[in-house]
Structure 1
Amino acid sequence: MKKRPCDNLNKQGQQHHDTQYVAGRIASKNLKEFVKGKWTARLKVENSGQAGMFPAWWLLGALNNEPPVQEADEIVCWPMTGSGEIDIFEHHSDGGPDHYAARAIKSNGQCGGGDWQSLMLVQAAQLNEYHEYSVEWVGDDVIFRLGEMEVYRLPNEASKLSEPFFAILNFAKINDSPMTQNWTMEVDWVKHEVWK
């Protein structure tokens, strides 16, 4: 397959290299951003577990300084507070087919320094069926749910993830392995609920 130019920028604002794949991404940055509460998306993924496929439903701190910077307060480097990351549903063959990762990225106190493993759960699910995947702030804890079932709890992490977040839904190809089937990620809806 012929490679073609990619008009996206990387985290340093540099042009991505030519690629034979096209990825999709929807983000609510500077449109809808919320502090705490509960974020939920109802989605499904077809043909999970193929090498290189990367569907994800995640949150990123609204002060993130990655290009394109759109507002004056977007000055915080990932994953410092203000640019934290919460992955509600991330699948790139973690645990194989019909598994996904839920996690918060733990900051190690420097730009670009994130611990991806210590606050992560790999959870089994029938990915080709619609499920509601959510994260919720409850008191001092951050709770991940699959449907109504709590699957993972991060005790005493809520204060470390207290900035406004925006939502991201993406489906990317992260390596050059051959595509053997068509992949799809279908999103029925996304919502945020505010708790008083």
Structure 2
Amino acid sequence: MQSAIIKTADSETGNRNIMQTISDVNSASGNPAGGPLQFTKTTFDAFAFPGHHNFRSSFDQVLAFLNNSDYLHATGNTSIWGHAKYDWLHSGPQGHKRFENGGIINTNQLIEVAEHNKPEMVLPLTNKSRANQLIAQAVNGNNGSQIASNSSESSEKLDKVIALLTALVSGQGNVQAVIAKSDVVNAVKSNTKKTSQYSQMMGY
């Protein structure tokens, strides 16, 4: 996978952190591709890893690449404008954002939940009373058919969850010039670390 990401960056930009240099439908619509992997801004935003929303950071682009459920099949040997090369197979990611370890959803989209048939819970952050009920269910180990009552304790837990999740997504990484092998390795390590932090935050 490390080789696949770097080869894609080499093919797209010569592994340079630049905006696209050709005119196409994306640039014409004001949504040009940029960065070593040449994500468009809207595609990058759709797959950005929590806390890593810097469009021009190569590290954040690697995380977005890995946050695609179909990342193992996203790149490969192909032909573009008659030239054989290794690149995106479909001009970009075709899967969905991965939420097996949680995350914040703030745009209308289709997602997969309960991956591997593991129970999950969706918290409506704009409906505090319902979120309180769901948090209390999770804390008390109730099944989906039981509705927990509101309490000051569950309200405090929701406030803590919202504050921590907000802190996770507010950070912005530094812009980096190219994708280095260390970026790919660190992206995987960061993914693992974020998963561990999220588990500790949620108490499991």
Under a length normalisation based on structure 2, what TM-score does the superposition of the two structures give? 0.23
Under a length normalisation based on structure 1, what TM-score does the superposition of the two structures give? 0.24
Select the structure that is richer in strand: 1
Select the structure that is richer in helix: 2
Task: Specify the structure having the higher radius of gyration (Cα).
Answer: 2
